[in-house]
Each structure stands twice: as C-alpha cells, then as structure tokens.
Amino acid sequence: MVFDIKKIRADFPILKRKVNGYNFVYLDNAATSQKPIQVIDSISDYYKNYNSNIHRGVHSVSQEATDAYEGARIKIQNHFNVKKSHEIILTSGTTHSINLVANGFLEILDEKDEIIISGLEHHSNIVPWQMMAARNGVKIKIIPIDENGDLNLNIYDSLLNSKTKLVFVNHVSNALGTVNPIKEIINKAHNVGAAVLVDGAQASAHFKPDLQELDVDFYTTSAHKLCGPTGIGMLYGKEKWLQKMPPYQGGGEMISEVTFEKTTYAELPHKFEAGTPNISGAIAFGVAIDYLNELGLENIHKYESSLLDYATEKLKSITNLKIYGESENKTSVISFNIEGIHAYDIGTLLDKFGVAVRTGQHCAQPIMDHFGISGTVRASLAFYNTKEEIDILFSSLKRAISMLS
Amino acid sequence: MKINEIQAEIVDEFSLFEDWMEKYEYMIELGKSIQLIDTKNKIDANLIKGCQSKLWLFAELKNGRIFYSADSEAIITKGIAAILLRVFSNQTPSDILNSEFKYIDEIGLKEHLSPTRANGLVSMIKQMKYYAIAYSNK
C-alpha cells in the first residue's frame, strides 16, 4: 500500500490549525494522539442517533447502543488476537486498568511474595504497586536500565525466583521510546510461575501485539494513544486471572443478584464494568482501531521508522544536542537536551513557533534520575507527521538555541 | 516608585517590541541580569513547588521594605521572575499585599502565569505575598 500522507492528514481536522500564528506542528503524540474525523464523527453520531443506556434496555435504541458497545469489544478482541471477548475489560484507560489489577492482587499476595517492576516505568505503573505493597507487604524489586535505555535482563534473571508472583513492564517506554523484549520477559517470568502485566499504552499506536502468541497474563492500553478518545481503554486479562480477582468497584451492571445479605457478581466482563460505561468512547475506540487497521500497523511502523531516522539524523547535527534513549529497538520518540539550556526554555520557544513538544520528566522521574537530569525535551512522532514538519522542528530549534545562548 | 507605576513602566517598555521574538529576547536578557539569590539561600526550603524547572525565592525585610531575590534553572522563567522582582521588590509589606498584578495581559505574559502552567510563576506571586504577610507583623 502506498502511504498517502496527504490524504491521511486530511482526516485530521486539527492539523489545519495555526498556533501562535504558525502552522501547528504536533510532536507530542506520546502524550496523546490526534483524532481522525471518522472517530470524531462516531461520537456525535452516537449522541445524535442512538444514545441509550446499554445492556438493560427493552427498547430498540438501547439494543442498538448495546450492539455497538459490544461490537467495539469484539473489534478490540480481534485486533489484539484475544481468545475470548470477555477477557477484554473496558476501563477508563491504562491507569484504571493497572489499579484494577493491583486491587485484584491485594488479597492474593502477601508479605512472603515479591513483585518486579521495570526501571522504565511511567508513574502510573509504579504508584499503584507501592500502594498495594503498603497494604499487603509485598516486596518490590526493580529491573535497572543501562546507558542506552535498555533494561538489564541479566539483573532481571537474578531477581526472579519462586517468590516472584508478578512482573510489570511497559511494552514501550514513554520517556525514551525503548521497545522492551516483552516476549523474553514473559517467558522467564512464567518459568518461575509469575504472572506478567504489560502496559501497552505507548506501543499500541505503533504496532499490533498478538496477545495469545505473547502468552501475556494482562495487557492494557488507552484509546487516546491510538487515535481514539480520552477516558476509555482496555484491560486484557487471562480468564483464569479475571475470575480469581475480586471486583474493583461496586455498582450496577457488575452484579447478578443483590439482596441486603449477599450479592452475586455478574459474569465476566461485566464483573469489572460497574455503572454506566463510556459508551460513546468505547464505540469510538472501535472506530479508531478500524482506522489504524485500514492504514495497516505495519505500514504505520515503517513510515514512522523512516521519519524517526530522518529526525534523529537532523537533530544529531546540532552541536551539544544529546539524545536520551538510543536503543536499537525504539518507537518514534526522541528525548533530548541541549547542553547548558533548560528543556523548559526550549519547549517554551518551540511552542511560540507553533511546535508542540513535551518537556519535563514525562511522569518517569526514576528514569530522569538514572540519567542524572531534571528532564528532557521529547518530540514524539506519529504517522501523520511529515519530513517537512521535522524540518520546521529543526529550524525552530536552531532559532530557539540561538536566542537562548 | 509605587507598584502600579512600575507596572505601567514595564508595559510601556514592552509596547516597543514588534513581535514575540523581541519580547522573549528581552526576557532572556532580563533572566541573565536578575538579582541572583545568595548561594546560602538557594536551598530546597526556598524552592517554589510546581515548577518544571527549579525556582528559588527568598525575601528579607530591610527598613520596613521587602527585598526579594530569585533564581531558576530555566532562563525564561528567570526573566519573568526578574519582572516580578522589579514590581514587588523594595516595597512595603502592606503595599505588596494590597497590590494587583494586573498588567500581565497587556504585556502578553498571561500564558506564563496561568495557574495550570507548569512553571510555578503563579505560585511565585503567591509566595511573594506570603512573605509580605509574614513580614507585615514585624
């Protein structure tokens, strides 16, 4: 397939706007992706034409909404190659998913058990486990990273033992873009009988994991990272785990029978979907997945890789620019600093030129501590970005540096 | 000079700039020339919370007037801090407490002083006022 970038960009209304008088160059895709018109329209279509509460309605429109909502679950199931649709729990996003699992393991684990967290984690995959550990006494161990931003797997090997019950790792690091060898990490964890949760928030916009092939126990992502809306995401869990874990929130939808003495919980997936869910969000999530599949994740990955190479080479020609995270295996993220200039100043001036990047710690303070820096400038590219936009980043960056030097 | 007069003077100066770039170049210059905080006061206790770049603020009372000093890792933040220092430093606690920093809109600094912005300058103004409260009883 030819990657028709002009046609693709026409699908994203926001890319036409100006910022501070300049063409908007959006390079903060790791924070959230922009949305194609198909996704945006699906939300208004739902509210205009078939808004109703789902699952319990006797009327036609409620059934239409239910079908669309459950249809989205099937799309997610197929996209990630999951065996059973009820292994897909619709959540508000990755943070919600991780908290749901942490809560589920609260009573399963105790102070004799150990869990392992990768040193590349986002705060959302650190804090819930610390909160859990504070309550059940589980011991947390960390897999450190090396100079390139890769996890040190030799140390990982030495941390694994029969007490290890859970391993948490992100598929792709949000701060550096490193793609972690999750297949290897999962296999090794399974060898000692530990379960693995993979945070796929930064991965799913770039490639399509086959969850059965990976044999992962839990996998989670947020729709807004892959062209879907905010406030919706998914948690995949192997059926055996989801059945073992207690519900996270109580409410409607998640029950099968309620008396004041006792409540019987609903079957999966509803046991974990208390209350009226984000119906329009789930539907739009499904549309976003369709959109990406139409372009083809492999095509997307290929295009982004060539864009990343182009950008890396250009930026490296700037004197005193240091890139953090130079793993052989990384997504289209460039985290960098200019010697003697604070990331915040660069970000502020780039914004004045209409270029949106992220600056700071990227919710990954331990990684910044590892490199001994207070933060970086992060340019994260998506398939709708162009070489021309990289050129604008480059020239704006040069001007910003000359203003600040 | 009174706080409002200083603000008016700053607005006048900024009106000479033709575009945002000149304005920022000026702020960067200000950042380089700021009355730096004494090393002994550049301590964690004087850090303003909520900044992406570290921002220190210190204040002392001399002859009934408050003298502020500040520093930041980021030069633009430092430049804006320099403007705040120029407005509020060498004033009495009651003048500081009764003043409004209302010219911001006119010089286009509002974006830096939004409470949701990650540079902590709103917290800096708040902290300056806290110092004024603390010193007004002395």
Domain presence at residue A113? yes
B-chain CB neighbours of A341 within 8 Å are 75
Domain presence at residue A84? yes
A-chain CB neighbours of B20 within 8 Å are 20, 352
Q: What average pLDDT score do residues A276-286 get?
A: 97
- What residue has token string 């006048």? B12
**Contact at CB, A359 and B76, closer than 8 angstroms:** no
Is the pLDDT score of A287 beyond 70? Answer: yes
Q: What average pLDDT score do residues A275-282 get?
A: 95
Q: Are residues A338 and A376 in the same domain?
A: yes
% pLDDT > 90, chain A: 78
Chain B: nearest CA to A18, how far in angstroms?
16
Domain presence at residue A254? yes
Amino acid B51: pLDDT? 67
For the ranges A40-44, A289-293, A401-405, B71-75, which has the lowest average pLDDT? B71-75
**Smallest Cβ distance to A345: which of B21, B75, B118?**
B75
Q: How long, in residues, is chain B? A: 138
CA–CA distances in Å: residue A273 to residues A100, A171, A352? 11, 25, 43
Residue B92, token pair as written in the block: 């009495």
Decide which of A326 and B44 is more confident. B44
Residues (pLDDT < 50) of chain B are: none
Domain boundary among A294, A326, A361: A294
Q: Are residues A284 and A316 in the same domain?
A: no
Q: Are residues A99 and A232 in the same domain?
A: yes
**Spatial distance between the Cα atoms of A325 and A313, rounded to a whole number of angstroms:** 14
Q: Are residues A172 and A246 in the same domain?
A: yes
Amino acid B102: pLDDT? 73
Is the pLDDT score of A303 beyond 80? Answer: yes
Residue B1, token pair as written in the block: 């000079």
Kind and range of the H or E run holding A167: strand A164-170
Listing from the earlier edge strand, what are the strands of the sheet with A333-338? A321-324, A333-338, A376-380, A358-360
**Spatial distance between the Cα atoms of A218 and A273, rounded to a whole number of angstroms:** 17
**Spatial distance between the Cα atoms of A86 and A70, rounded to a whole number of angstroms:** 10
Residue A157 maps to which CATH number? 3.40.640.10
**Contact at CB, B52 and A360, closer than 8 angstroms:** yes
pLDDT band for A202, please (50, 70, 90 cuts). Answer: very high
B-chain CB neighbours of A374 within 8 Å are 53-54, 73
How many domains is chain B built from?
Answer: 1
Residues A152 and A146: beta-carbon distance below 8 Å: yes
Amino acid B138: pLDDT? 66
Domain containing residue A380: 5-30+296-404
Amino acid B116: pLDDT? 62
Residue B27, token pair as written in the block: 């702020």
Domain boundary among A273, A294, A315: A294
Residue B78 maps to which CATH number? 3.90.1010.10
SS3 A322: strand
Domain presence at residue A20? yes
Amino acid B119: pLDDT? 62
What average pLDDT is seen over chain A? Answer: 92
- Bridge partners for B47 per DSSP: B56
Residue A353 maps to which CATH number? 3.90.1150.10
Residue A21, token pair as written in the block: 């008088």
**How many contacts (CB atoms, under 8 Å) link A and B?**
41
Amino acid B120: pLDDT? 67
The β-bridge relationship of strands B65-72 and A376-380 is: unpaired
Q: Are residues A135 and A197 in the same domain?
A: yes
Residue A28, token pair as written in the block: 């903060």
Q: Are residues A300 and A290 in the same domain?
A: no
Domain presence at residue A373? yes
The β-bridge relationship of strands A139-143 and A195-199 is: unpaired
Q: Are residues A326 and A387 in the same domain?
A: yes
CA dihedral angle for residue A189, residue A194, residue A195, residue A199, rounded to 10 degrees: -50
- Known catalytic residues of B are 51
- Bridge partners for B67 per DSSP: B60
A-chain CB neighbours of B24 within 8 Å are 349, 352, 403
Domain containing residue B37: 3-136
**Contact at CB, B52 and A348, closer than 8 angstroms:** no
Q: Are residues A308 and A249 in the same domain?
A: no
Decide which of A242 and A128 is more confident. A242
Q: Are residues A24 and A91 in the same domain?
A: no
Chain B: nearest CA to A28, how far in angstroms?
16
C-beta contacts of B99-102 below 8 A and 24+ residues apart = B99/B3, B99/B4, B101/B7, B101/B125, B102/B7
In this structure, which amino acid lies at residue A185? I
Q: Are residues A251 and A313 in the same domain?
A: no
Using left for φ > 0, alpha for ψ between -120 and 50, and beta otherwise, residue A125 falls in alpha
Give the dihedral sign, CA A354/A355/A356/A358: negative
**How do residues A361-384 score in pLDDT, each as one tens digit?**
766 677 777 777 778 999 999 999
CA–CA distances in Å: residue A217 to residues A12, A387, A393? 35, 39, 40
Amino acid A322: pLDDT? 95
Domain presence at residue A321? yes
DSSP states along A77-128: HHHTT-S-GGGEEEESSHHHHHHHHHHHHHTT--TT-EEEEETT--GGGTHH
Nearest C-alpha in B relative to A399:
B21
How many domains is chain A built from?
Answer: 2
Amino acid A243: pLDDT? 93
**Contact at CB, B24 and A403, closer than 8 angstroms:** yes
The complex scores an ipTM of: 0.89
- Bridge partners for A147 per DSSP: none
- Known catalytic residues of A are 363
Domain presence at residue A35? no
Domain boundary among A246, A265, A294: A294
In this structure, which amino acid lies at residue A130? Q
The β-bridge relationship of strands A358-360 and B65-72 is: unpaired
Residues A379 and A350: beta-carbon distance below 8 Å: no
Residues A260 and A69: beta-carbon distance below 8 Å: no
Chain A: nearest CA to B93, how far in angstroms?
32
Q: Are residues A24 and A56 in the same domain?
A: no
For the ranges A189-193, A276-280, A299-303, A372-376, which has the lowest average pLDDT? A372-376
Decide which of A304 and B54 is more confident. A304
**Spatial distance between the Cα atoms of A108 and A102, rounded to a whole number of angstroms:** 10
Q: Are residues A242 and A176 in the same domain?
A: yes
**How do residues A160-185 score in pLDDT, each as one tens digit?**
999 999 999 999 988 788 899 999 99
pLDDT band for A325, please (50, 70, 90 cuts). Answer: confident
Q: What average pLDDT score do residues A295-323 get?
A: 96
